[in-house]
């Protein structure tokens, strides 16, 4: 089964789970806005762009939850100069975006009596990375499917029906030279 299909089925299961097992836990539906920092080796590509997510979350127990989400990033842009043979240079414009980000995450939750919770988690993202490289005359375009583990930390405040969370995720691209982190502010509605 392909990774996008698996991620979509996981999101569907998370959406149905609250209706089936509502008495065992709490369901959260959320929208996130944030920033994605992306860089590649050599400093040629280094940009911070906006990002967003829609999520379906289910807290099975007081200390354990699972989350699924779908989102996208803004345009990652960079301009750099490369040497050409035999002598000279050419300026290249790089444009890219994560046009699809499916995420599934297992969360450990440490709640306090005042409504505040600390969270830590391990996740998996399936991303579609679309790019375009041009020298002003010629261009090369393409896309790449990435499968990325992630490490997550957050602090959340809960009210009766709403919650707000500030989260940070380190994306482990597992190839030399790529680096990514995402900081998100999420607003949840609880069923």
Q: What is the pLDDT of residue 37?
A: 94
Q: What is the pLDDT of residue 9?
A: 45
Q: What is the pLDDT of residue 1?
A: 43
Q: What is the pLDDT of residue 177?
A: 80
Instruction: Tell me if 66 sits within 8 A of 79, measured CB to CB.
Output: no
DSSP string, 146-183: EEEEEEEEEEEEE-SSEEEEEEEEEE---STT-EEEEE
DSSP letter, residue 136: S
Cα 13 to Cα 22, 56, 96: the distances in Å are 13, 10, 31
Lowest pLDDT segment from 24-28, 66-70, 170-174: 24-28
Q: What is the pLDDT of residue 87?
A: 73
Model confidence pLDDT, tens digit, residues 134-184: 887 888 999 999 999 999 999 999 998 899 999 999 998 877 688 899 999
Beta bridge partners of 116: 157
The mean predicted confidence, pLDDT, of the chain is 85
Q: Which helix (H) or strand (E) holds 85?
A: none
Q: What is the pLDDT of residue 85?
A: 78
Grouping H, G, I as helix, E, B as strand and the rest as coil, residue 14 is helix
């Amino acid at each position: 089964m392909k990774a996008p299909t698996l991620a979509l089925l996981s999101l569907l299961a998370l959406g149905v789970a609250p209706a089936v097992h509502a008495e065992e836990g709490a369901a959260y539906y959320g929208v996130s806005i944030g920033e994605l920092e992306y860089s590649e080796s050599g400093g040629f590509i280094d940009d911070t762009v906006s990002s967003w997510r829609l999520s379906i979350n289910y807290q099975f127990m007081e200390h354990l939850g699972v989350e699924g989400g779908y989102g996208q990033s803004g345009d990652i842009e960079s301009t750099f100069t490369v040497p050409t043979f035999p002598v000279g240079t050419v300026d290249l414009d790089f444009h890219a975006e994560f046009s699809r980000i499916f995420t599934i995450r297992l969360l450990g939750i440490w709640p306090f009596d005042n409504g505040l919770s600390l969270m830590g988690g391990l996740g998996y993202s399936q991303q579609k990375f679309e790019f375009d490289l041009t020298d002003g005359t010629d261009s090369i375009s393409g896309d790449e499917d990435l499968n990325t583990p992630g490490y997550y930390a957050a602090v959340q405040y809960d009210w009766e029906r709403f919650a707000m969370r500030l989260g940070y995720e380190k994306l482990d691209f597992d190839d030399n030279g790529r680096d990514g982190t995402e900081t998100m502010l999420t607003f949840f509605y609880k069923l």
